[in-house]
Amino acid sequence: MNGSESPPEPERIRLKVDFDSPERLDAWLSDRLDLSRSRVAVLVAEGRVRVGAEAVRKSYRPRAGDVVDVDLPSPAPTTLAAESISVSIVYEDECLLVVDKPSGLVVHPAPGHPSGTLVNALLFRCDRLSSIGLPFRPGIVHRLDRDTSGLMVVAKEDSAHRALAADIAARRVGRGYLSMSWGHLPEERFSVDRPIGRHPKDRKRMAVVETGRRALTHVRRLERFAAADLLALRLQTGRTHQIRVHLLELGHPIVRDPVYGSGWQRGMTGAGGRWAEELARRSGRLFLHAARLSFVHPVSGERLTFTSPLPEPLSSALSWARKTGRR
């Protein structure tokens, strides 16, 4: 840019608050704009966030009827490399796509994973991704853990990205998972409503902490085996490691969870213990799969629903469990 050119105008985003929020403004905006809370805090400090005509603090709690205006500076251009990485795209149109992410693929570049991610793969496959999330997370509306497989929606256009992020925050996007957890849950169907935040002693882990953000998971047992349950889970919120942390809190971590349930099966004894060891071996990875995704298309208004079958080796492990461990 030479001296005669002026910087591009910031983008004005206007959001209406439908009901009193239990969350602070920085958390409320983080969910709806798919920005980190630290990024929102910078916008607030720079005076780019207003309620009505008034600048507010990040600790402000939005009230029903508030109109929140956010001036977003133009994002810096991405320097991410497009990489030829195989990824399954199950749906694509002009403004979004749905991918079926394999286990082991990191969603976006981060410290320790500068390349070889889903974003790098999509930059190679697509003509564009939304600029929201730049420079490292373009197009990423919601994320899956590296070890979790399954369905994700990715935005190509900024308007679609914001509409989808707002629907996720308003709990209008359906996200269903299949999982196998150790032991036997006490009920067939229930919900876990416990707040999640950073672990107080290990910042790489999440935990149920009273100072965390609300996290709500709906759980239904599909099948009961010798030493594990097959579960259908539905997310009402989308906190980091939410399903994994909630099941650990119940004392029934996910089969082969390397962070929250490593070696859990070794504590089981007798025939059930031997069965559990074999299930863990056959599963080979975290037994968590995003099997269902449903959302309203931000342009057509049509509700789209996608399903994904259990991939290998989880599918074979489940077949073995059905043959050997039904209860």
CA dist., res. 75 & res. 83, Å (int) = 22
Residue 281 CB contacts under 8 Å (≥ 6 apart), including other chains: none
Dig out the tokens for 123 from the structure.
Answer: 């930059």
Query: Could you write out the DSSP letters of every residue in 67-122?
Result: EEEEEEPPPPPP-PPP-----EEEEE-SSEEEEEEPTT--SS-BTTBSSSSHHHHH
β-strands 149-155, 96-101 pairing: antiparallel
Strands 228-235 and 196-198: unpaired
Question: Could you say which of 145, 158, 229, 257 is catalytic?
Answer: 145
Q: How many CB atoms lie within 10 A of CB 119?
A: 27
Active site (annotated) includes residue 69: no
CA 185, CA 173: separation in Å to the nearest integer? 26
Answer whether 154's CB lies under 8 Å from 164's CB.
no
Residue 170 tokens read as 């308003």
Task: Give the chain's radius of gyration (CA, Å).
Answer: 21
Let me know the angle formed at the C-alpha of 303 by 300 and 305, rounded to the nearest 5 degrees.
Answer: 130
Q: With contact defined as beta carbons under 8 Å apart, do 319 and 279 qualify?
A: no
Q: Which helix H or strand E contains 233, and what residues bound it?
A: strand 228-235
E strand or H helix at 164, and its extent? helix 158-169
CB 110 within 8 A of CB 136: yes
* Phi and psi torsions of 242, nearest 5°: -55, -55
- Helices 25-33 and 158-169 cross at an angle (nearest 10°) of 130
Annotated catalytic residues are 145
